[in-house]
Structure 1
Amino acid sequence: MCEAVEKDLYAVLGAGPSDSVQQLRHRYQQLALQYHPDRHAGSSSSEAESGMKRFLEVDAAWRILSDQTSRRQYDLQRRAQELKQDWPVDSTVHLQDMIWEQNERVYTYSCRCGGGFHVSEEEVQEETHRRWQDDEEEETDEQGGVAVFCDTCSLTVCVTWSLQTKTLRTF
């Protein structure tokens, strides 16, 4: 299991720590256009709310990562958190950004080595259920998360998802 204490701001933008400010700006602009509230005006209330939430996440990430001082401070905090973990986590991946493989009932994400990260629907449901039981009495804005290892190299990612939205596939 991987505790998702705080969202990885680079993952929110679909970027990495080595990306330049121009690359981050480009990703921010793409995502801001995609999730802007005006684009979801005619959508259902849950879709509009989900889009608004994602837009606010993207905007908050950009505000921190676009400023050199706040980005440096964030990078230092991020590195300190990584050093506290039992194993190194290369990055954070949101479940909604993974590819759903219907036949195998797994979410997949490509690794930079050419391999892949795989998390089963069952793992996601078990972790979500466990978190809901832990927080039975409280309304929480918490995220679920699991550590997933690449099937060909030693990299690890933390796959996260919101416990408040229905990101799980139900059949």
Structure 2
Amino acid sequence: MKLLNILKYPHVGLTSIAKPVEKINYEIKLLINKMFLTMIANKGIGLAATQVGILLQIIVMIDLEKKNKKIALINPSIIKKTNEIVITKEGCLSIPQHYAYIKRSKKILVKGLNESGNEIQIQAENTLSVCIQHEIDHLNGLLFLDRLSPLKKNILEKKIHKLQKIINEKKRNR
């Protein structure tokens, strides 16, 4: 099965807002399978459909604390957050090789549909909580960069552009 193409920052598609999935059919299940394969092949722990250019509310993740259990959520929404905050170093498959410390709720309660169309709720904390919040941000057209102060965002954007320039030069010299 062919892997999906992950959009890279600053691709305009990364700021697009996803629409709810209206019907879970074979194509949606196939997309979820391809998203898992793409995420794992790229050594990620989460992926949103918007990152592969599909404007549907679908996220896939690996729960590292539960023996790498695969989780797919369709039309996810956070229904409860604790005030307790964690600050973790986040990365993103759409912004490879760049990381920043981001504040997120330590515990959340999220609801959505599973691949069978059944409503599920997940109480998540720590890494899974951060991952879900990160992926839902993608569905809303946000990147972890958008959660940084303007100064930190500017510094990181300059590093990203500098690295992209080096990569482009190497490609031209092949």
Which has more strand, going by share of residues?
2
What is the TM-score normalised by the length of structure 2? 0.24
What is the TM-score normalised by the length of structure 1? 0.25
Which has more helix, going by share of residues?
1
